[in-house]
Amino acid sequence: MKDEREAKRAEFSRRDFMKKSAAVSVATLGAGANKVFAAGSDKIRLGLIGCGGRGTYDSTNCLKSADGVELVAMGDRFRERLYSALKTLKSRLGEKVKVTEDKCFVGFDAFKKVLECDVDMVILTEPPHFRPEHLKAAVEAGKHVFMEKPVAVDPVGVRSVIASSELADRKKLTIVAGTQSRRMAHIIAVMERIHNGDIGKIVGGQCVRIGDGMLGWSPGTKVRQPGWSDMEWQLKRWLFLTWLSGDFITEMHIHNLDVMNWALGSHPVQCLGLGGREVRTGPEYGNVYDHFTVEYEYPNGVRIEYMGSQIDGCTYRSDERVVGTKGSAYIDSGNAIIEGQNPFKYDGPAPSPVIRQHADQIAAIRRGKRLNEGKRVAESTLTTIMGRMSAYTGRALKWEWAMNASKLDLRPAKYEFGNLPMRPVAVPGKTKLV
């Protein structure tokens, strides 16, 4: 009976969400002077920059989220990846995919060629290292942007994203980030109660994500093939290279730490981290760690303990807990519970957050409404980066220094398929804080 009730609730939620989305789309087609999409048309023309699995996934969700959206241009560094994604998208979405051969671009400058096309909005899903440059170019070109998280891998990149976000506001462009937890109904419900004081004054909390080791990720690239340059191999193993992914605390666990920033209504003021590399041995695992623990201190002396790992065979756990003077809140991917003086358990509908994020952006574009998540996701990205920097070096870090003074810039000297020695694995106490 419980499963039947949950299935009915999920179906009602889906139908209700789609009905509301359709209503928003119809209402906004006649937005008149506020239109900032293709002049004289109700179409929103989409360009995809980064055609891997995430790019294919986000494009699928975006095209499904609203009527009148079509994919017209694509770019990637690898030809085979672009055409594989194009084939998949055409089979899934049919006439919504209108990409012709002359709108398929390959190479390090593919993003520039997509932006030169007649597109209103772009999806940025190349590895996180490239996000600051791609966002800057997209905003300067007058395009609305959906960008995956994280949005940088170093403080220099974070500062660039914030500057681009400020420019987007001046140009009345929307920016939406792929931090889908922000659109999960159960988390929204518990956050409203936390911010309304239901658990009292926050005094501490925990953030845990362990398991999902990913040692088997992309098995076809584990063995470097003859003819692959350093750059090509690293791009194909990008999750395991700090300069490309930011390490897993940044690339994946930004979701969890973003939830903590949301709950506390702030970014941390300082942190102290530890970490290492216990099971990721061999060059196929690049130079990232496989475990971190970081103590984050927020305003008013509130401390949040983060523990994260990517080690196969371990117990999986992913949740956040916030403790207050009147109770505590527990959050995971499907639950939101408050215990204490004001108990609460979410038992409502659960519309898809990965559809909702695109529907929200399309509606905002059509209404000429401000929607800019750039600075917020940049701050959550820096939260993860400063934790990694502390763990890599063994040094405590302050937010103000990381945001305003750190010169860490992981960009290579040049972008080309050639030699690119891999940076050594960081050693706390020896790796310098930059």
* Tokens linked to 282: 């061999």
pLDDT for 4 beyond 90? no
Please compute the mean of the pLDDT values over residues 302-309 and round it to a whole number.
98
Q: Are residues 150 and 103 in the same domain?
A: yes
Contact (CB, 8 A) for 371 and 364: yes
pLDDT interval class at 180 (50, 70, 90): very high
Q: Are residues 64 and 147 in the same domain?
A: yes
pLDDT for 218 beyond 60? yes
Q: Are residues 108 and 213 in the same domain?
A: no
Let me know if residue 431 belongs to a domain: no
Q: Which of 151, 181, 211 is the last residue of a domain?
A: 181
What is the distance between the alpha carbons of residues 389 and 407, in angstroms, rounded to a whole number? 12
What is the distance between the alpha carbons of residues 299 and 267, in angstroms, rounded to a whole number? 8
pLDDT interval class at 41 (50, 70, 90): low
Q: Give this prediction's pTM.
A: 0.91
What pLDDT score was predicted for residue 279? 94
Read off the pLDDT of residues 119-153 as tens digits, 9 standing for 90 and up: 999 999 999 999 999 999 999 999 999 999 999 99
pLDDT for 5 beyond 90? no
Q: Are residues 67 and 25 in the same domain?
A: yes
Let me know if residue 272 belongs to a domain: yes
Residues of the domain holding 286: 184-347+376-404
Let me know if residue 415 belongs to a domain: no
What is the distance between the alpha carbons of residues 389 and 37, in angstroms, rounded to a whole number? 41
> How many domains is the chain built from?
2
Burial of 50 (0-12, 13-18, 19+ CB in 10 A): buried
CA atoms within 13 Å, Cβ hemisphere of 397: 32
What's 154's domain CATH number? 3.40.50.720
- What region, left, alpha or beta, does residue 294 occupy, with left being phi > 0 and alpha being psi -120 to 50 degrees? beta
